[in-house]
Structure 1
Amino acid sequence: MIDALKPNPWAVLRHVVLLCGALVVLTPFIWMISTASKPPAEIYTSDVHLIPHHFALWDNLQEAFAKSNLGRFLLNGLIVTVSIFALQVLVALPAAYALAKLRFVGRKTLFALVLFGILIPPQATAIPVFLLLHQIGALDSYAALVLPFTISVFGIFLMRQFFMTVPDDLIDAARMDGISEFGIVWRVMLPTAIPAVTAFGIFSVVAHWNDYFWPLIVLNSEQLRTPPLAVAHFRNAEAGTNYGPLMAAALVIITPLVVAFLLAQRRFIEGITMTGLK
């Protein structure tokens, strides 16, 4: 009984390491919230303190919205991320179903190409895609932000791994009921793949909401700027050296991602766990 109550040294060490890692990850966010809540006089001082003496978060938020079109930038980010995710799901689900459940010549080769595509960084194809968009006159538009990311090889891989865990008897029963292959994808496989779709949605939305590189090279119009470009533009053109409104704008931009992840956390963990079963 006494031995059972003794703390496990390895468990204690593990928790200490995890707490230290969490502190390292959370420190920039804590500092951002602290800076966003301070007036300029407290930001530029040698006295380092997290809790502001004078709470100025509301004033910094008002200045951030007043001096930049922050609402429009957030709307652009929402339009782009939702459009990309919807198109990626439309492509990834049928492709993953074919790779997981259909038997045809070259299936393993196609899956190998999917795995190879995961290894290719988007920067490697940026110039050819940019030139193609220039040729068709799609630069400086929502299409330039959405179309290059319609096909997600990571999404295909994630869905395929999940579909491998779905029993074949379920698909055979649907075929006996006269459901077509596309009908099976959307009426049978999609409802079972909600955890995997949610997990992929977190990855996709976070990646494209925070994307700075691609919008920077395809956009010229300020009205089409996405949230990361909005922060850079706000800092350079509007806030200058006043980091209070800048951090307040950054706080507004990351809040939707944090809320979305907290709401979908259970599905996210479930999807990642189940896709790793096979």
Structure 2
Amino acid sequence: MTRLSLGRVLRLSLLSLGALIFLAPYLFMISTAGKAQSEIFSSSLALIPEQWSYVENFTKALSRVSMPTLLWNGVVVCALIFIVQVVVAIPCAYAMAKLKFRAARLMMVLVMLGLLVPIHATALPLYVAFDRLSVLNSYMALVAPFSISVFAIFLFLQFFRALPDDLIHAARLDGMSETGIVARVVVPNAWPAITAFAIFSVVAHWNDLFWPLVVVTNQEYATPPLGLLYFRAAEAGDDYGALMAATLIITLPLVAAFLIAQKRFVEGITMTGLKG
């Protein structure tokens, strides 16, 4: 009993230490968002501001850049990318998991190889293609390169393998087509995996700076991270208190989304590890 209690205390201590390490940058960001410029560059390091400047810094953050435009662009781009990725990935993963055809193993190899190719490797040819098509500074340029997600295919593939084959056979006996099985049987049972992938997809593309920096020069199409870059390049110089306030505004939707979908996220990650 003593060993069990000691082990539990040790695990909780390690988990608390890990949580503190991961939360430290966010706590520092919250602290800096409430400090005046002179206090930020002072020699003393304190989490609690001596003079609270939250109202001033958040006012600067909301007035110096078009924050509603940045947030709206982030929502539109992430939503479009996620919807297209799911629409493409679910039928592909279902075919590889539940249908028998000769190229199944080859497709699996291609999916695994696709996981190894970063966006940086294809950035130049994609940029040249979009430039010739005159679609730079548009939602299409921001969404199109990510419309096919090999990670989504791999994640859904693992989840669909755990679905009982009897469920699929029963649907076929009822006269359903493969499209109907995907829409009416597979998708309703795949919401945990879809929710888990949604967190991965939205976080990755909401925080992405590289690709928007390549294809966007018009602030009307700037995503949140690119908007922060414009914020720092303002004529007034680098006001880190206001910059941290703007960063808080941009990261809060992600934190709220994760807290709301936390249960489904954990369930989806757990179930995609099962094998049928």
Alignment partner, residue 75 of structure 2: 78
Distance in 2 (CA, whole Å) between partners of 1:112 and 1:64 is 47
Contact 1:67 1:238 (C-alpha < 8 Å) held by counterparts: no
Alignment partner, residue 24 of structure 2: 27
| 1:146 maps to 2:143 | yes
Distance in 1 (CA, whole Å) between partners of 2:83 and 2:229 is 28
Distance 1:232 1:226, change over 3 A: same
Distance 1:57 1:158, change over 3 A: same
Range 159-168 or range 50-59, more displaced: 50-59
SS in 2 for 1:50: coil
| 1:167 maps to 2:152 | no
| 1:203 maps to 2:200 | yes
Distance in 2 (CA, whole Å) between partners of 1:249 and 1:146 is 24
What amino acid does structure 1 have at the position aligned with 2:151? Answer: F
Q: CA deviation at 1:39?
A: 2.3
Q: CA deviation at 1:126?
A: 1.1
Alignment equivalent of 1:244, drawn from 241, 244, 247: 241
Distance in 1 (CA, whole Å) between partners of 2:188 and 2:92 is 16
1:222-261 deviation digits (Å, cap 9, x = unpaired): 1110000111110121552321110000000000000000
Identify unmatched segments of 5+ residues in structure 1. none
Contact 1:37 1:60 (C-alpha < 8 Å) held by counterparts: yes
Identify unmatched segments of 5+ residues in structure 2. none
Q: CA deviation at 1:14?
A: 3.4
Distance in 2 (CA, whole Å) between partners of 1:59 and 1:217 is 33
- TM-score where L is the length of structure 1: 0.95
| 1:156 maps to 2:153 | yes
Q: CA deviation at 1:71?
A: 1.1
Q: CA deviation at 1:97?
A: 0.5
Please show how residues 32-51 of structure 1 align to structure 2 within 5 Å. 32-51=29-48
Distance in 2 (CA, whole Å) between partners of 1:157 and 1:115 is 8
Q: CA deviation at 1:30?
A: 0.4
1:116-164 deviation digits (Å, cap 9, x = unpaired): 1011111111112112212222111110000110000000000011000
Q: CA deviation at 1:112?
A: 1.1
Distance 1:7 1:164, change over 3 A: closer
1:100-125 deviation digits (Å, cap 9, x = unpaired): 00011111110111011011111111
- TM-score where L is the length of structure 2: 0.96
Contact 1:100 1:164 (C-alpha < 8 Å) held by counterparts: yes
Q: CA deviation at 1:50?
A: 0.6
Alignment equivalent of 1:193, drawn from 190, 193, 196: 190
Contact 1:68 1:238 (C-alpha < 8 Å) held by counterparts: no
1:5-32 deviation digits (Å, cap 9, x = unpaired): 4565544443333322222211110000
Distance in 2 (CA, whole Å) between partners of 1:241 and 1:47 is 20
| 1:94 maps to 2:91 | yes
| Count of residue pairs brought into register by the alignment | 275
Contact 1:239 1:246 (C-alpha < 8 Å) held by counterparts: no
What root-mean-square deviation, in Å, do the aligned CA atoms of Structure 1 and Structure 2 show?
Answer: 1.4
Identity across the alignment (%)? 52
1:61-91 deviation digits (Å, cap 9, x = unpaired): 1111111111101110000000000000000
